[in-house]
Amino acid sequence: MSEAAERFAQFKLVLLGESAVGKSSIVHRFVKNTFDNMRESTIGAAFLTQSVHLAESNTTVKFEIWDTAGQERYKSLAPMYYRNANAALCVYDITSRSSFSKAQDWIKELKKQAPEGIVICLVGNKVDLKDEREVDEQEVAEYVEELNQEQSSAGAPAGKVILAECSAKSGDGVLETFNVIARALPVEDAVGGARNRQLRNKRSSGVDLSRGRQQQQSQAASSCC
């Protein structure tokens, strides 16, 4: 039996969170497997791409990643980037309680204004600094559970909020976070949509040979009389 052809799906993903929580470091660890202690703050937004492979469905999921600036003066630009997004990482620093509050604010905003069905992942970064932890894991888990219960009772169609922790510095948990997001996305719908677009493009680009023969026959008939 021949192996099934590899499938492909593409999704837009945006990172949101307070400045200095490590959004860009998470992205660069995922995309380039690098870490820079002296990384400068993002201005506006940065765009990168990277893919993960889901072995169980033989699907490559490509992320179009928008890494947004965390400074308050850029906050008004955020809707431009999470508009039409399929997934969002709301990042906080586990050593900063204020950054966790800010991540909660982003989730509230996404629930109100982001596309229906967006996959939201609440990510605690800097687990390599666990001795300086200010945000308790149990508190975060209870917050996410409450969010998901509210959503379920309201009959909302959007997926559950995903909980994750990672360290951009060591790399621990970074790839796993993006794999979990990829599995939560509507991959089957995206693969089906891409296949349908390919079929439409093939049909529209094909040459109708029978039409050409009909035109030639019509011209010949008109010229012989």
pLDDT tens digits, residue range 208-220? 545 555 555 555 5
Q: Are strands 59-68 and 45-54 parallel, antiparallel or unpaired?
A: antiparallel
DSSP E strands in 83-135: the ranges are: 87-93, 119-125
CA distances from 197 to 53, 60, 114, 202 (A): 22, 18, 25, 9
State the Cα–Cα distance between residues 43 and 15, nearest whole angstrom: 13
Domains in the chain: boundaries: 7-185, 192-225
**φ, ψ (nearest 5 deg) of residue 166:** -155, 175
Share of the chain above pLDDT 70, in %: 81
Summarised one tens digit per residue, pLDDT across range 122-134 is: 999 999 999 999 9
Residue 138: is its pLDDT beyond 50?
yes
pLDDT of residue 198: 53
The arrangement of strands across the sheet holding 119-125 comes to 45-54, 59-68, 7-17, 87-93, 119-125, 162-165
At 152 the pLDDT is: 79
Residue 5 has pLDDT above 60, yes or no: yes
Instruction: For the chain, give the mean pLDDT.
Output: 87
Q: Which SS3 state, helix, strand or coil, does residue 96 take?
A: coil
Residue 225's pLDDT is 44
Q: How far apart are CA 19 and CA 39, in angstroms?
A: 12
pLDDT value of residue 155: 66
Quickly name the fold that domain 7-185 has. Answer: Rossmann fold (3.40.50)
**Degrees (nearest 5) of the Cα angle 143, 146, 151?**
130
Reply yes or no on whether the pLDDT at 107 is more than 80.
Answer: yes
